[in-house]
Amino acid sequence: MGDCWNAGAIIATVFLPPLGTFMKKECGFEFWISILLTICFWIPGIIYSAWVVAQQIRVEAMGPMPGH
């Protein structure tokens, strides 16, 4: 995805962590963990979501793997 989408995901992660996770991973396991952490403990929710978003941006930057 584009740089604007990545910036939007990072900003969303700071204010509403599950939204940033949803923007990068959709409605998967990571999204539900982010919701749980954010409801129970706001700061761990932000940290986890930021990690998920950063990892996904890194994977997208690497491009497709050879042979896939």
Concatenate the DSSP letters of all residues of 10-29 into one string.
HHHHHH-HHHHHHHHH-SSH
Q: How far apart, in Å, are the Cα atoms of 57 and each of 10, 34, 35, 36, 42? A: 10, 17, 20, 22, 23
The answer as to whether 67 is a domain residue is: no
Domain total in the chain: 1
Rama region for 16: left / alpha / beta (φ>0; ψ in -120 to 50; rest):
beta
What's the confidence (pLDDT) of residue 44? 93
The answer as to whether 7 is a domain residue is: yes
| Residue indicated by tokens 């491009």 | 63
The answer as to whether 66 is a domain residue is: no
Q: Could you tell me the pLDDT band of residue 7, with boundaries at 50, 70 and 90?
A: confident
Render pLDDT for 9-62 as a digit per residue (tens, 0 to 9). 889 889 999 999 998 888 999 999 999 999 998 999 999 999 999 999 888 888
What's the confidence (pLDDT) of residue 1? 55
Residue ranges making up the domain that contains 13 = 3-61
The answer as to whether 8 is a domain residue is: yes
